[in-house]
Structure 1
Amino acid sequence: MIGIVVVSHSRALAEAAVGLASEMVAEDKRPVIAVAAGLDATTFGTDAMAVSEALTAADSPDGVLVLLDLGSAVLSAEMALEFVDPSVGDHVRLSSAPLVEGLVAAVVTASTGASLDAVVAEAERGLVGKQDHLGDTPAAEAAAVVEADQSVEVVLGNEHGLHARPAARLVGLVNGFDATVTLTDLDTARGPVDAGSLSMVATLNAQQGHRVRVSASGQQASEALAAIEKLAAENFGDAPATGAAPSGSTAGGPSSVSDSPSGTADRSTAGGSGLDVAIGPAVVLGSEVDLSDYVAEDNELERLNQAVETAAEQLRELRDTTPEHGDIFVAHLALLGDRKILEAVEHAISGGSPAPAAWRDVYDELATTFEGLDDAYQRERAQDVRAVRDRVLRILVGATEETPTDGILVVPELDAATAATLDATRIAGIAVRAAGTTGHGVIVARSRGIPLITGIGEVDVQPGATIAFDARTGSFEVEPDEDQVHATIRERQSEREQAVTEANEPAITRDGKTIDVLVNVGVVQDAVDARGADGSGLVRTEVLFGDRRTAPTVDEQVETFRAIAQALKNRPITIRTWDIGGDKPLPFLPQAKEANPFLGERGLRVFRRRPELLRDQLEAIRRVATETPVHVMFPMVTTADEVAWALDELGPRHGLEVGIMVEVPAAALRVATLAKDLDFVSIGTNDLTQYTTAADRTNTAVASLADGLDPAVLQLIDHVVRNAGVRVAVCGDLASNPQAAVLLAALGVTELSAVGPQVPLVKARLRQADLSQVDTAAVLNARDADQVRGLL
């Protein structure tokens, strides 16, 4: 077996790379790997004498492969060859292969007893898989293979498909047989590729759920196929995919009021969707790291490298100490170590820029790129870019990261690390100037039970000033009436406790109207955690399966729908078919870039040219409907022709109730025509509002115009109720607002689907209401949304 030498300027880097590569093969099959890295444990540099010692330690009659990081490492290695015995130097090969990817490929290939030439070839192809996936270069050609004698088909159960570790296990297994084995991805028609080559397996990019044909020829073809089938059945050594919901989803029950130790701040809770009321002194943090006192020196690149490594240590600690949010800090680590970004920073420093300025400018440009993306969730990733930017800048200038306590934190935007490390017993709440609810800092703060409001804008707040906010109403006040705010906090606490106690009671208004209050479901856990829900009025299938790279099978969808129904004790569930486009992409159904995606191919429109995915979903819905009450509804419907097409695709109903989403003004105005052959309609107030007001709900510049209580929106809802001729539901944000829920019921809506934590509150408010006393005429004729709120 060949030996391997790793030459690097950083000992920590080299040891980490060796540790990663060593995990790919069993200990008893690893080649000897010697490290010559750093001038000592912490000082960057390379030493020819250390390299020569490593060459001697790794020497093997089969040869020695040397992998290197930067330019001077090559010079040190070449000089080292002058120091070693010629009998060693004669079979040493210096390779230009990428250090990390090349080392992984080399270790896996060497473990099979491959020749030095074969190992070198695999190491130098180490980048092929990543380049092909990212489109940097044309896909590498598969090695020529002979015609297979026999084949089997396996389905990948791994959550991330044939990624590094399972691919390495497969390659090691294949190379233990006297057989030529190839892989073909039947779902993408890619292949065949040589299954004995790690880079070729990576190039295949086979994902979870893909069907892979394994073909083999040679004396041990049958044995190889049997072994691969067994390995595939064991998920290639990975834990089996569980079908769990995407990380970052939260749901929960009630939380208690908590006072800060100093007695200067109070907060109230609204359950798992986040806390809503807080009062206390303002703790104001600025947005910019002050670079004015930084003095550039001759070793700017080295100073930057040390700052980056310190930042990486901090992020690794956050990743390990907050496992519930570990994925966020893994993403920050990836941003910190992005090769292309680092190259741009190094280039700027080489051109004379001080390290902080170079780092800031490159990361600012990246943040701007994110902010220009179509997808709202991706736009908010610019906050992560700036968080990584500022972490390194603080280290470079020696600034201490502030740890605010005893008050309400006021920040331009909320960093996930700040949210994760706040003392939740001493921070009364957080007020974020930027709008948006999917920033990682917002997600972390809400999951920790910290009261939070976003989108307060540029209101002037002086440090120490008393501030109060009510996220439920969107109010933010400086120097408020403290007695009134404290009374609101006590009232909210009592209200929630009472509502949760009575959650399972029906929502019957004082004038005898029964309103079904259901729960919106995006992950199975939403159904499990729901308190008092009369079923689900909206099962978001694009969210349920939105983390997958491949489309779910019919059986997988049946299993998930069944789990939701069981969690809700077989009460009715309304399954919305795939609703994609605009701000909701599906990884397994790529769409062409559109100039106006909210006005493009969304919802049902997409599937008129791709009906096979819809047909699979409808089959799953029909199956579940034989076991439990199920309704199906189609999203983004505009014309009667679309309704007719959807009903034709559905086929015989066999008792299955069918409806559509009313999300565009055209559908609302012609609802009598659209609903003629339906059982119900459900109004999606989020989209209906943005299309009525011509305001993109994800654009902070106009988001305030997209107000669901705008009288124009309410007039459309009223028109739908009066003209639909079928049951009318609401499943948008308005249904989660207890006050708006009463108004909707007074307008004639009989079914409301809310976010889980709001279900008890909506039911409680409805029980207190006499719908006959609601002046709907005044509301419909109000001047604007603010006047509607006053009337409510």
Structure 2
Amino acid sequence: MIGIVVVSHSHALATAAVGLAAEMVAEDKRPAIAVAAGLDDKTFGTDAMAVSEAITAVDSPDGVLVLLDLGSAVLSAELALEFVDPDIAERVKLSSAPLVEGLVAAVVTASTGASLDAVIAEANRGLVAKQDHLGETSPVQQAELAAADQVIELALSNEHGLHARPAARLVALVNSFDAAVTLTDLDTGRGPVDAGSLSMVATLNAQQGHRLQVGASGPQAAEALAAINDLATQNFGDDAPAAETSQPASGSGLDVAIGPAVVVEAGVDLSGYTPGDDERGRLDAALSSASVELEHLRDTSTDHGGFFDAHLALLTDRTPLDAIHRAISAGSSAPDAWKQTYDELAARFEGLDDAYQRERAQDVRSVRDRVLRALTGSTSNDETPAGSILVVPELDAATAATLDAAQIGGIAVRAAGTTGHGVIVARSRGIPLITGIGDVAVPTGATVAFDARTGSFEVSPDEAAFRTTIADRLAQREQAVAEADQPAMTLDGRTVEVLVNVGSVQDAVDAHGADGSGLVRTEVLFGDRRTAPTVAEQVERFRAIAAALDGKPITIRTWDIGGDKPLPFLPQDREANPFLGERGIRVFRRRPQLLRDQLEAIRQIAVETPVHVMFPMVTTADEVAWALDELGPRPDGLEVGIMVEVPAAALRIETLAAGLDFVSIGTNDLTQYTTAADRTNSAVAPLADGLDPAVLQLIDHVVRNAGVRVAVCGDLASDPQSAVLLAALGVHELSAVGPQVPLVKALLRQTDLTQVPTAEVLSARDAAEVRQLVRR
């Protein structure tokens, strides 16, 4: 196998490029790579003697390829050949290939045992995919491709298509056979291209859902096609590992907090930045630093690593990077070019119709600021001092997932809204949190306090009063946890089942006192998968949840996708109004097989343990009939229900519930559809209030007319006071996030439901008046 030397003016740039290329192939198949870059770790320049030493270190009978960046790197490499043994020099070739793209192509090609000339040819074509994608040049003409003797067709299910890693795996596999293999994208008509060439495979730009035709000829054509088919069934090795555990909820679970403020502004201060002579080099170093940070966060996160994979993908997105490089070449500073480009990208995300895509604007801004901090030397918020209150403009899921829940005092979010991903993650981890504090001035380091129960946020508060409140609520929580296993029997003699919402096995393990699970979110449970789980895999995960809950009933919601909840292994067409499009059960009426597999898993586990199944986003009686028909014969004890999430379902509940065992109200969706307020849009999120009297009137209608057991599994059930109101309206079961289960049960045990002013609540003017009535 050949050796490779990277010659660059920047040690950080060369090291980062080698790190990127090394990720493309398995460690045991990588060629030897040496770096001769910088005069030292921090000083830019090249040294001919260092280059000669690097060449000697990786020398191979198969030859040595030297890749260079610019200017004196070429001169230093040429001079280095005069310093090495003449026999070695004869085996060395210098290449004008682009450093990063050429290195990636060279490492992948060399890993297959290809000759030095073949590796050089592939490295020299490293820019083809980028140039073709941007329309800057015609694709490189290939040599005449051999006619295929055998052909197979594959469906590309990778979430991001044949991007760098899966493409590299495919190329390595193809080059291990004595066969000529071609790829054609049947959906775009592009191809055929040489499947043994990384640049040609990337030129296809094959995306998720595209059909690929793979042709092969030669002595091992059949074996190559069989191996490629196997690789495709494994998503070209692009599956994320199945998450066996979730990060435990280790916060206090309180709704009140006090502490010194750590204020995160809407952006990073660039006023003190002084541009230099090598802005491109500074950006590369910042990108390398940010990449290391994100990889560390991903690898140390027990449940939310996927967030950081997404951030890494944003960090290396070639389209904005090319725009940034052009801006720097035109005279912009690295921070200005980076900020402007990523601000524009965030604005484009915010302008999309798809709610899930709009949420990605938070991720774009998070990546934007991480790199700006690296460029300016600003501090990161990955480690917030113990007891601090983090004040943020908005809360992205990555921040919520990585804060030390046991150390942070709380989070105050300026933006309104209670159903964003970051808010949901923070609450599930038991972190005290308040949203919608607005533009109140908060000096860094000032003592701040909030009480989410009353909606108050104060700067320089009465510390003694707040600390007394915290002590009281901690005592209440400790007592609630100690008594969590006791039933939630109210003072007027009603017993209300309090269950837990589950998105992972660990959620069930951490559920203190839950009477079972009122919601198993299967799209979250298997959301780390890039291929659909088998029936057996689903049974295994359901069995683990049931075991964690000591065999108590579990309510499994069938796949609930669409809107802001994509499912990687079931791509959906783009919709102008996804919240009003194919969501939940609607998706599977055209594509039922995935649902059928899940229902088979549910039937199997129902033989072993008490199981309820419910179908999401039901609107019509015809949908209920179809779902029951798909479920087919059911084991004894398997109860069936539907989610009530749209006003139409609530208003015709008597018809829909006929023949069912229960219904479960999803208050998050019912609220947004009733108030016509997108829960992910911060501009209208305050309208999406679950205590709006119109929402409560629909819940009351369902309770009085369903004729079956009524549950609530939306966020409203996780707030103890709201949960009491729901119980007073006649709801039989409440399913809350784990940290809130003991508190909900404790407050129910202290309440006489006959004294809750339900009539006044239902006729209240607005949600604010409802809260006053409930607190009273």
In structure 2, the partner of 1:277 is 256
After superposition, the C-alpha distances for 1:307-340 in whole angstroms (9 at most, x for unaligned) are 5556566667767887887765665555445443
After the TM superposition, which residues 103-182 of structure 1 pair with which residues of structure 2 at under 5 Å, given as runs? 103-124=103-124, 144=146, 147=149
Q: Tell me, in whole angstroms, the C-alpha distance in 1 between the residues paired with 2:405 and 2:248.
A: 19
Measure how far apart 1:284 and its partner are. 4.5
Quick check: 1:545 aligned with 2:526? Answer: yes
User: What letter is aligned with 2:604?
Assistant: R
Task: Choose from 447, 468, 477 the match for 2:449.
Answer: 468
Q: For residues 519-530 of structure 1, what are the structure 2 equivalents within 5 Å?
A: 519-530=500-511
Alignment of 1:433-512 (within 5 A): 433-435=414-416, 451-461=432-442, 466-512=447-493
Residue 728 of structure 1: aligned partner: 710
Indicate conservation of the 8 Å contact 2:260/2:448, yes or no: yes
Q: 1:10 corresponds to which residue?
A: 10
Structure 1 residue 716: Cα displacement? 1.0
CA contact (8 A) 2:10 2:281 kept: no
Q: Secondary structure at the match of 1:571?
A: coil
* Deviating more after overlay: 497-506 vs 560-569: 560-569
What is the SS of the residue equivalent to 1:778?
A: helix
Call closer, same or farther: CA 1:786–1:186 in 2, change over 3 Å: same
How many Å separate the matches in 1 of 2:379 and 2:256? Answer: 30
1:370 match: 349
Contact 2:243-2:528 at 8 Å conserved across structures:
no
Correspondence 1:643 to 2:624: yes
Within 2, Cα distance between the matches of 1:506 and 1:583?
35
Deviation at 1:737, TM superposition (A): 1.6
Stretches of structure 2 lacking an aligned partner (at least 5 in a row): none
Question: Which deviates further from its counterpart, 387-396 or 581-590?
Answer: 387-396
Residue 776 to residue 361, structure 1, CA distance change in 2 (3 Å): same
* Deviation, structure 1 residue 298: 5.2
For 1:419 and 1:609, the matched residues in 2 are separated by 36
Q: Deviations over 1:646-699 (max 9, x none)?
A: 222222344432211111111111111111222211111111111111211111
Measure how far apart 1:373 and its partner are: 3.9
Contact 1:377 1:438 in 2 (8 A): no
Aligned match of 2:321: 342
Following superposition, the deviation at residue 154 of structure 1 comes to 13
Between the aligned partners of 2:269 and 2:238, the Cα distance in structure 1 is 47
Question: Which segment is superposed worse, 425-434 or 728-737?
Answer: 425-434
Equivalent residue of 2:6, what SS? strand
**C-alpha offsets along residues 737-759 of structure 1, whole Å, 9 cap, x if unaligned?**
22222222222211111111211
Q: Distance in 2 between matches of 1:573 and 1:463?
A: 46
Q: Aligned partners of 2:155 and 2:582: how far apart in 1?
A: 31
* 1:157–1:240 Cα contact (<8 Å) kept: no
Distance 1:47 1:746 in 2: 79
What is the CA-CA distance between 1:368 and the residue it aligns to? 2.0
Q: Distance in 1 between matches of 2:295 and 2:9?
A: 21
2: CA distance between counterparts of 1:74 and 1:290?
38
Moved more, 407-416 or 52-61: 52-61
Name the CA shift for 1:577/1:72 in 2 (closer, same or farther; >3 Å): farther
CA contact (8 A) 2:240 2:530 kept: no
Q: 1:586 to 1:506 in 2, by over 3 A?
A: same
SS in structure 1 of the partner of residue 582 of structure 2: coil
Question: Cα RMSD (Å) of the superposition?
Answer: 5.2
The equivalent residue for 1:266 is: none
Residues 176 and 39 (structure 1), Cα distance of their counterparts in 2 relative to 1, 3 Å cut: same
Alpha carbons of structure 1 residues 789 and 155: separation in structure 2 relative to 1, 3 Å: same
Measured in 1, the distance between the counterparts of 2:268 and 2:22 equals 40
Q: Is there any run of 5+ residues in structure 1 with no aligned partner, and where? A: 256-268
The residue that corresponds to 1:43 in the other structure is: 43
Residues of 2 paired with 1:674 and 1:120: CA distance?
67
SS of the residue corresponding to residue 477 of structure 2 reads: helix
**Counterpart of 1:776?**
758
Measured against aligned partners, the alpha-carbon deviations of 1:627-662 in whole angstroms (never above 9, x if no partner) come to 222222121112222222222222234443221111
**Counterparts of 2:2 and 2:446, CA distance in 1:** 69
Aligned AA for 2:351? Answer: G
Match of 2:695 among 694, 713, 723: 713
CA distance in 1, matches of 2:341, 2:573: 29
Tell me which moved more, 554-563 or 96-105: 96-105
> Helix, strand or coil for the counterpart of 1:42?
coil
Question: C-alpha distance in 1, partners of 2:406/2:631?
Answer: 53
Pick one of 658, 661, 665 that aligns with 2:640: 658
User: Cα gap change, 1:472/1:73 in structure 2, threshold over 3 Å: closer, same or farther?
Assistant: farther
Q: How far has the Cα of 1:89 moved from its partner?
A: 8.6
Aligned to 2:249: 252
What SS class does the counterpart of residue 791 from structure 1 fall into?
A: helix
Aligned pair in 2 of structure 1 residues 375, 166: CA closer, same or farther (>3 Å)? Answer: closer
Q: CA deviation at 1:363?
A: 2.6
- Pair 1:218–1:340, CA change in 2 (3 A): closer
Report how far residue 717 of structure 1 moved. 1.0
Which amino acid in structure 1 is aligned with residue 549 of structure 2?
L
Counterpart AA for 2:530: R
Q: What is the rounded CA distance, in whole Å, between the counterparts of 1:473 and 1:562 in structure 2?
A: 40
Alpha carbons of structure 1 residues 62 and 491: separation in structure 2 relative to 1, 3 Å: closer
Tell me the SS of whatever aligns to 1:360: helix
One-letter amino acid matched to 1:782? A
> Quick one: structure 1 residues 750 and 139, their matched pair in 2 at CA, closer, same or farther if it must change by over 3 Å?
farther
In the alignment, which residue of structure 2 is the partner of 1:353? 332
Give the paired residue count: 768
Residues 327 and 595 of structure 1: CA distance in aligned 2, closer, same or farther (over 3 Å): closer
- Which amino acid is 1:787 matched to? E
Q: CA deviation at 1:428?
A: 3.7
> Distance between the aligned counterparts of 1:77 and 1:444, measured in 2?
52
Q: 1:295 to 1:55 in 2, by over 3 A?
A: closer
**Higher mean C-alpha displacement, 85-94 vs 339-348:** 85-94
Q: Give the structure 2 partner of residue 703 of structure 1.
A: 685
Report the Cα offset of residue 522 of structure 1. 1.4
Whole-angstrom distance in 1 between the partners of 2:186 and 2:325: 43
More divergent stretch after superposition (184-193 vs 582-591): 184-193
| Distance apart, 1:508 and its partner CA | 2.0
**Partner SS state of residue 528, structure 2:** coil
**1:621, 1:476 → 2: CA distance?**
46
What is the distance in 2 between the residues matched to 1:564 and 1:190?
46
The alpha-carbon distance between structure 1 residues 499 and 344, as it changes in their structure 2 partners (threshold 3 A), is same
Change (3 A) 1:611 1:97: farther
- Is the contact between residue 156 and residue 232 of structure 1 (CA under 8 Å) also seen in structure 2? no
Of 702, 723, 736, the match for 1:741: 723
1: CA distance, partners of 2:404 / 2:623: 53
Q: Which amino acid aligns with 2:345?
A: L
Asked if 1:573 is matched to 2:554, the reply is yes
Whether the aligned pair in 1 keeps the contact of 2:147 and 2:217 (CA below 8 Å) is: no
Of 564, 577, 585, which residue of structure 2 is paired with 1:604? 585
- Higher mean alpha-carbon deviation, 729-738 vs 234-243, is at 234-243
Q: 2:169–2:237: 8 Å Cα contact kept in structure 1?
A: no
Q: 1:276 to 1:376 in 2, by over 3 A?
A: farther
Query: Offset at 1:235?
Result: 8.6
Query: What is the distance in 1 between the residues matched to 2:430 and 2:178?
Result: 59
- Counterpart selection for 1:789 from 727, 751, 771: 771
Could you tell me how far 1:611 is from its partner in structure 2?
2.1
Post-superposition Cα deviations, 1:687-730, rounded to whole Å, max 9, x if no partner, equal: 11111112111111221121111111111111111111111111
What is residue 544 of structure 2 aligned with on the other side?
Answer: 563
The share of aligned pairs that are identical, in percent, is: 77
Q: CA deviation at 1:287?
A: 3.9
Provide TM-score, normalisation by structure 2: 0.81
Contact between 1:184 and 1:214, CA under 8 Å: does it hold in 2? yes
